[in-house]
């Protein structure tokens, strides 16, 4: 009788052990994907990020939003903003020799050529042309130095109190005297979005512009999102220097809301942006 009881006890223990192993297996199958997902959430490479619903004035995600960063060519958003406010879009302005001396990225404008303001704004927003930035600055203020004063004044008016511009294009300056924050760039970009011309300009993958004498220049957007097979496009302005790293600030729609995503100092710019918008915006890209 004792042997029989022992036999049944051993059998029950073996059965329980099998059940336990099966439960442990099921647990890990269900839990490990969540563990990986949680780990993935911590791998955003950008130094600073802001992702907001600007219509509802609601922050969806933020990382170091008030940390000082270098703007690189996102600086040109402010250049475009002031040019749109101060100059008629169809006015022809002349390229100076000084403007052609700036280092690339540029579209190799020639001294004495005349271009419409709208075409030079296309050039700085689509192809990040440094020479076009200087031409616009000189046309607005007489010199780039005077234009920079206007940029800094405008930044303060918008509420970008932790921003200082030193040129019209975003190229590095000695001792990094040009800086901003993700939050300040969000404010500047939001202001620029009030202009229909700006909203349209940042949507182009390609755009042809012409000098008054008919010289054609083909612009190709630096925004690689426009060339990716994403379900939804994000329209905006890129930036890159070795010191600043890869940057981007752009916009997309979700229902009736306008969302703005700004990412600065990113080793994995496009991957980070896609992940942030998908995860915190609930938008499949």
**Which candidate in 47, 52, 76, 106 is catalytic?**
76
Q: Is the dihedral of CA 9, 13, 19, 22 positive or negative?
A: negative
**Which candidate in 47, 52, 116, 128 is catalytic?**
128
Edge-first strand order for the sheet with 58-63 is 58-63, 48-53, 257-266, 245-254, 235-241
Reply yes or no on whether 76 is catalytic: yes
Reply yes or no on whether 52 is catalytic: no
**Which candidate in 47, 52, 73, 133 is catalytic?**
73
What is the distance between the alpha carbons of residues 104 and 128, in angstroms, rounded to a whole number?
Answer: 9
What is the distance between the alpha carbons of residues 239 and 249, in angstroms, rounded to a whole number?
Answer: 9
Helix (H) and strand (E) counts for the chain?
9, 9
Q: Which residues are catalytic?
A: 73, 76, 128
């Amino acid at each position: 009788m004792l042997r029989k009881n022992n036999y049944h006890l051993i059998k029950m223990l073996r059965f329980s052990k099998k059940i336990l192993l099966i439960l442990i297996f099921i647990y890990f199958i269900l839990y490990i994907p969540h563990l990986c997902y949680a780990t993935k959430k911590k791998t955003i490479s950008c130094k600073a990020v802001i992702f907001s619903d600007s219509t509802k004035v609601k922050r969806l995600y933020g990382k170091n939003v008030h940390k000082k960063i270098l703007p690189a060519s996102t600086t040109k958003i402010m250049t475009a903003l002031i040019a749109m406010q101060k100059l008629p879009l169809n006015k022809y302005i002349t390229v100076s020799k000084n403007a052609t001396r700036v280092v690339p990225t540029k579209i190799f404008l020639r001294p004495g050529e005349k271009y419409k303001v709208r075409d030079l704004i296309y050039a700085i927003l689509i192809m990040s042309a440094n020479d076009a930035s200087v031409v616009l600055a000189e046309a607005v203020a007489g010199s780039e130095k005077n234009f920079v004063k206007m940029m800094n004044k405008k930044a303060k008016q918008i509420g970008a109190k932790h921003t200082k511009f030193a040129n019209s294009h975003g190229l590095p300056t000695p001792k990094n005297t040009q800086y901003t924050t993700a939050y300040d760039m969000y404010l500047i970009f939001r202001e620029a979005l009030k202009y229909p011309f700006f909203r349209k300009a940042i949507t182009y993958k390609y755009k042809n512009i012409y000098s008054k004498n008919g010289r054609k220049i083909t612009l190709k957007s630096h925004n690689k999102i426009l060339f990716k097979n994403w379900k939804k496009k994000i329209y905006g302005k890129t930036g890159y220097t070795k010191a600043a790293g890869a940057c981007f600030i752009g916009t997309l729609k979700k229902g009736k809301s306008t969302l703005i995503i700004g990412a600065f100092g990113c080793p994995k710019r496009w991957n980070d942006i896609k992940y942030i918008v998908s995860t915190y915006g609930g938008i499949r890209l």
